[in-house]
A = this chain, B = another copy of it.
Amino acid sequence: MLSKNKLKYIQSLHQKKYRQQQGAFLVEGAKSVQEVLQSGFAVELVVATEVFYKENAHLTDHQRTPVEIASVADLERAGTLESNNAALAVVRTKENRPLLAEPGEIALILDDVRDPGNLGTILRIADWYGVQKILCSETTADVYNPKVISASKGSFTRVDWWYGDIVSVLDQLAGSSGQAVYGAFLDGEDVHQLAASRAGGYLIMGNESNGIRPAVAQYVTKRVTIPRYGEAESLNVGIATAVLLDNIRQRTS
């Protein structure tokens, strides 16, 4: 049985304010909890059904992670998932350390991507395409939001992020690195014709409705566009990230 205090503490982590105060976030569901237990993250507590605990004791015992056995009803009460018959973990957030693309590396920059589902999908896509660094504007959805963590399907354990003033990062990079700064626009160069540089660099994706802000757009060195063959007005930002990374990768590998 979860104590009332623990239940309250876990529930408080549904909200960004308390995640920041406590320096902790939630990971939910069998697969994600298994992945976080095998990652570099510090896991504070696992709440698990007896079945999940028995099948995964090697993972928790190894790190001497505290485990509380709970019913499915308690798990669902504590967490955010509609159904969870396995486990949730309370995990320490990471230090917010600056990230830059090394020579030859592609990093993502997210300028005000607001939807947690989109951000989670972008983490998964980044992980598929071997992108390990994501620089986020402060207005981008909180990566520790349980919806982001769920949608990332475990990829949050393999991708790094930083939140801060992306304009000043871009300003410091400008002209100095020889790296490309790709930006997704509706009126850029056809990405199928792109002569991508092997020097690596950054791909900037903008807000779901408004795209990349002018203050950020001024640092873009290659405006790129996914060619359209039909009539849809736009593609979702997650879809566009995947198609652009696929094109950059196939032109630089």
Contact = CB atoms under 8 A, between A and B. Distances in A.
A33 B250 CA distance: 40
Contacts of A41: none
A153 B208 CA distance: 13
Contacts of A153: 232-234
A143 to B, nearest CB: 16
Given A246-B226, A246-B243, A232 B192 contact: no
Q: This chain: how many copies in the complex?
A: 2
Contact of A229 (B130, B155, B243): B130
Given A192-B250, A246-B247, A250-B192, A127 B239 contact: no
Interface stretch (A15-23, A72-80, A118-126): A118-126
* Interface range on chain A (Cβ under 8 Å from partner): 35 or more
A168 interface: no
Interface in A213-253: 226-236, 238-239, 242-243, 246-247, 249-250, 253
Contact of A242 (B132, B192, B239): B239
A126 B226 contact: no
A114 to B, nearest CB: 16
Interface in A131-159: 131-132, 153-155, 158
Interface in A181-217: 192
A81 to B, nearest CB: 16
Contacts of A247: 246
* Of A192, A226, A243, most B-chain CB atoms within 10 Å: A243
Contact of A128 (B155, B228, B246): B228
A163 B124 CA distance: 31
* Of A228, A229, A250, most B-chain CB atoms within 10 Å: A229
Interface in A14-66: none
B232 A127 contact: yes
A129 B230 contact: yes
Contacts of A155: 231-232
17 contacts: A121-B236, A121-B239, A124-B236, A127-B230, A127-B232, A128-B228, A130-B228, A130-B230, A153-B232, A154-B232, A158-B230, A227-B249, A229-B249, A238-B239, A239-B242, A242-B242, A242-B243
Interface of A: 121, 124-132, 153-155, 158, 192, 226-236, 238-239, 242-243, 246-247, 249-250, 253
Pick the 3 closest A-B CB pairs, nearest first: A130-B229, A130-B230, A127-B232
